């Protein structure tokens, strides 16, 4: 079977199953170790029998709802390939916008200073690793309650050449217990309300880790905990950066304003017009 024929069949099959038909193209790029341009150039070449079997497996599994990133084992984030599996959330493009804002605000606030950064909720390590690689002044520690997630992130840091301190713990407790102070705290915590969880796409609900998604009845449980812990760890001059769920921006901003009345708190909207980020900074 020629590649072009395999792509047409795969795309049609996925579309009929209610899945993203573009997944067929991504699967083929992965199998052939090429980008989209390379795939187009090979359209008239035949697939081997083994490649056909592997493609059929990917398509069948994705039809069941398994995310394509878990099937191929990686996702790109900020131009870098991050290994992912069922122990970590798949990095989202929206979080790249959070990175852009943190880099811009961090450089403006701290200039060329050495900056102690904590990323809370390691996952794949996408946030921590990207910040460390994009700004050499950022000395990044990252915390996760799940050792399995840390193992994935450690492997990504090793592959990508990032120097990160990995800590197994619960939110900011490791820093509080060791009386460590921080200049920057960033987190993309769980923020989905319990009532919304069952309404999620099965691709998310049935395969990505629930512990990284759900946060109590209103989705704000982790932000409330942060408000108790942040004052114990941040320096006088600080930057706090959160990703939030749509509709939560003002609520989280109000929490930060109450916790840090002398600081500047702000909701920032993403490219789709959703209140996706909340920042709090104190110039001291």
What would the pLDDT profile of 123-132 be if each residue is shown by its tens digit? 999 999 999 9
What is the mean predicted confidence (pLDDT) over 83-99?
Answer: 92
pTM (2 d.p.): 0.89
CA 179 to chain centre: 28
Residue 240 neighbours by CB under 8 Å, 6+ apart: 184, 185, 186, 230, 234, 256, 260, 279, 280, 281
In the predicted structure, residue 133 carries a pLDDT above the cut 90: yes
pLDDT of residue 194: 65
Q: Kindly report, residue by residue over 149-193, the tens digit of the pLDDT.
A: 999 999 999 999 999 999 999 999 999 999 999 999 999 987 777
**Residue 120 three-state SS:** strand
**Taking all residues of the chain, what is their mean pLDDT, rounded to a whole number?**
90
Asked whether residue 226 carries a pLDDT value surpassing 70, the answer given is yes
pLDDT of residue 214: 67
The model's pLDDT over 31-44, given as tens digits with 9 standing for 90+, comes to 999 988 999 898 89
Please tell me the predicted confidence (pLDDT) of residue 210: 59
How confident is the model over 72-88, as pLDDT tens digits?
999 999 999 999 998 89
According to DSSP, residue 33 is labeled T
**pLDDT digit string, tens, across residues 188-211:** 987 777 666 666 666 565 655 656
């Amino acid at each position: 079977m020629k590649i072009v024929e395999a792509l047409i069949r795969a795309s049609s099959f996925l579309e009929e199953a209610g899945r993203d038909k573009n997944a067929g193209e991504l699967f083929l790029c992965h199998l052939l170790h090429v980008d989209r341009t390379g795939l187009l150039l090979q359209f008239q070449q035949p697939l081997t029998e083994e490649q056909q079997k592997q493609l059929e497996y990917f398509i069948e599994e994705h039809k069941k709802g398994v995310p394509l990133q878990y099937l191929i084992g990686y996702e790109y984030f900020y131009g870098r390939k991050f290994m992912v599996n069922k122990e970590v959330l798949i990095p989202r493009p929206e979080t790249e916008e959070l990175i852009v804002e943190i880099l811009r605000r961090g450089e403006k606030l701290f200039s060329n200073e050495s900056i102690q950064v904590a990323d809370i909720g390691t996952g794949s390590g996408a946030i921590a690793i990207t910040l460390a690689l994009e700004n050499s002044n950022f000395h990044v520690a990252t915390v996760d309650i799940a050792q399995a997630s840390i193992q994935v992130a450690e492997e990504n840091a090793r592959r990508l050449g990032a120097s990160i301190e990995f800590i197994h713990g619960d939110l900011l407790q490791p820093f509080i217990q060791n009386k460590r102070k921080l200049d920057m705290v960033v987190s993309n915590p769980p923020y989905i309300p319990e009532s919304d969880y069952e309404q999620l796409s099965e691709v998310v609900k049935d395969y990505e880790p629930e512990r990284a998604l759900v946060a109590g009845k209103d989705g704000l449980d982790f932000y409330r905990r942060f408000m108790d812990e942040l004052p114990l760890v941040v320096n006088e001059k600080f930057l706090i950066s959160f990703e939030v769920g749509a509709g939560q921006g003002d609520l989280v901003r109000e929490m930060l304003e109450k916790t840090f009345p002398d600081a500047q708190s702000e909701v920032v909207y993403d490219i789709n017009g959703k209140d996706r980020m909340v920042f709090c900074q104190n110039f001291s």
